[in-house]
Structure formats: structure tokens, C-alpha cells
């Protein structure tokens, strides 16, 4: 009689341990998948941030090339227009990349 009770108790404990082991294994598999997805998102974000830095650097370079010395009023207007165009393109790129980053980051 005691052997039957002990076997039953040991069987229940074994089932509990097996269930806990399966749950832990399933949780680890799910966590592994989440980490893999995050690693891919991180790589994508890193590439986008490098592209953003390159584009912003190019805009800064173009803005720095504008000669701000002027000798006439029409020349001043041309310089002003060049600076406005450069700043507009910079602001556009910043807003564009921020929208990309917003959709990228969960």
C-alpha cells in the first residue's frame, strides 16, 4: 500500500517538474525569438541612423559652402534663398528620419 502511495506521489511530482520544465523551455524559446527580433530591429535602426548622419552631414556641408559675404542686394537675396533652401531640406530630412525611427522602434 505504501509503495502505491509513494509511486503516485512521485508520479505527481514528476509531472509537476516536467510541466515546469516545459513551461520554462517554452518561455526561453519565446524570449529567444523576441531577442532575435530586437537584434534585427537594432541592426535596421543602426543602419538608418548611419544614413541619417550621412545625409545631415551632407546638408551641413552644403550650408557651410554658402558664401555669406555679399556686395549687392540681389546677391544678398540669392544667399538668403540658398540658406533657406538648405535649412528647409535639413528640416525635411530630420522630420522624415524621425518618422522612420518612430515606426521602427516598438
Q: Specify the 3-state DSSP secondary structure of 1.
A: coil
| 93/52 Cα distance (integer angstroms) | 8
- Binned at pLDDT 50, 70 and 90, residue 2 comes out as low
Cut 0.75: pTM above it = no
- Assess whether pLDDT exceeds 70 at residue 88: yes
pLDDT in tens, 20-69: 999 999 999 999 999 999 888 888 888 888 888 888 888 788 778 877 77
- Binned at pLDDT 50, 70 and 90, residue 70 comes out as confident
Measured CA to CA in angstroms, residue 36 lies from 42, 46, 72 at distances of: 10, 15, 61
- Binned at pLDDT 50, 70 and 90, residue 98 comes out as confident
Grid cell in block for residue 48: 538608418
Per-domain residue ranges of the chain? 2-104
pLDDT of res. 106: 52
Instruction: Give me the DSSP letters along 56-105.
Output: HHHHHHHHHHS----SSHHHHHHHHHHHHHHHHHHHHHHHHHHHHHHHH-
Amino acid at each position: 500500500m505504501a509503495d502505491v502511495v509513494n509511486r503516485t506521489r512521485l508520479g505527481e511530482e514528476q509531472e509537476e517538474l516536467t510541466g515546469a520544465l516545459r513551461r520554462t523551455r517554452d518561455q526561453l524559446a519565446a524570449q529567444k525569438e523576441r531577442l532575435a527580433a530586437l537584434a534585427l530591429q537594432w541592426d535596421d535602426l543602426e543602419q538608418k541612423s548611419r544614413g541619417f548622419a550621412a545625409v545631415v552631414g551632407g546638408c551641413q556641408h552644403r550650408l557651410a559652402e554658402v558664401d555669406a559675404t555679399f556686395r549687392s542686394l540681389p546677391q544678398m537675396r540669392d544667399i538668403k534663398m540658398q540658406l533657406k533652401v538648405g535649412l528647409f531640406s535639413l528640416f525635411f530630412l530630420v522630420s522624415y528620419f524621425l518618422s522612420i525611427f518612430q515606426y521602427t522602434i516598438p
